[in-house]
Amino acid sequence: MRLVVMGIVHKRPKSMVVLVSCQSKGEGDEEIEGDVGLELKVNFSEKAVLRNARLSGQWGASETALSFFPFAPGEPFKMEIVCEHQQFRILVDGQPLCGFTHRLTQLASLTALRVHGDLQLTKVA
């Protein structure tokens, strides 16, 4: 599986989030959030990209190590999330950014992608 998220960062960004998750269960007020196989939370003030997963309603420990911060206000980006056997590999503008070891064992249940925050989406594939 390879997901591509392309967009333009807002001129005064605070954060943006990319979630690869299972579908929510239930309807209306009874809706229960599904597991999250990968959460990427970009924090512009700290120049950080947090990675995490939520299993059975519980978030794990966040990972933050980065070799560089690839996002700039007002600039376009292309993020690729590649699901490999052991991990998600995240690339930005063709450069490897980080990896995230799978915590969710049922990878086939990851069927939803959500992107929100201080960006204008231009393409999702």
pLDDT band with cut points at 50, 70 and 90 for residue 34: confident
Distance, CA of 70 to CA of 94 (rounded, Å): 11
Please say if the pLDDT value at position 28 is more than 70. Answer: no
Please say if the pLDDT value at position 25 is more than 70. Answer: no
Tokens (6 digits) for 60? 């794990």
What average pLDDT does this structure show over 7-36?
A: 83
Q: Cα 36 to the chain's mean position, in Å?
A: 10
Q: What is the largest CA-CA distance in the chain?
A: 42
pLDDT in tens, 48-57: 999 999 999 9
What average pLDDT does this structure show over 12-35?
A: 79
What average pLDDT does this structure show over 12-19?
A: 98
- CATH class as words, domain 2-124: mainly beta
pLDDT in tens, 74-125: 999 999 999 999 999 999 999 999 999 999 999 999 999 999 999 999 999 9
- So where are the chain's domains? 2-124
- Closest CA relative to residue 124, chosen from 91, 80, 87: 80
Tokens (6 digits) for 33? 């959030």
Backbone angles phi, psi at 30, to 5 degrees: -90, 5
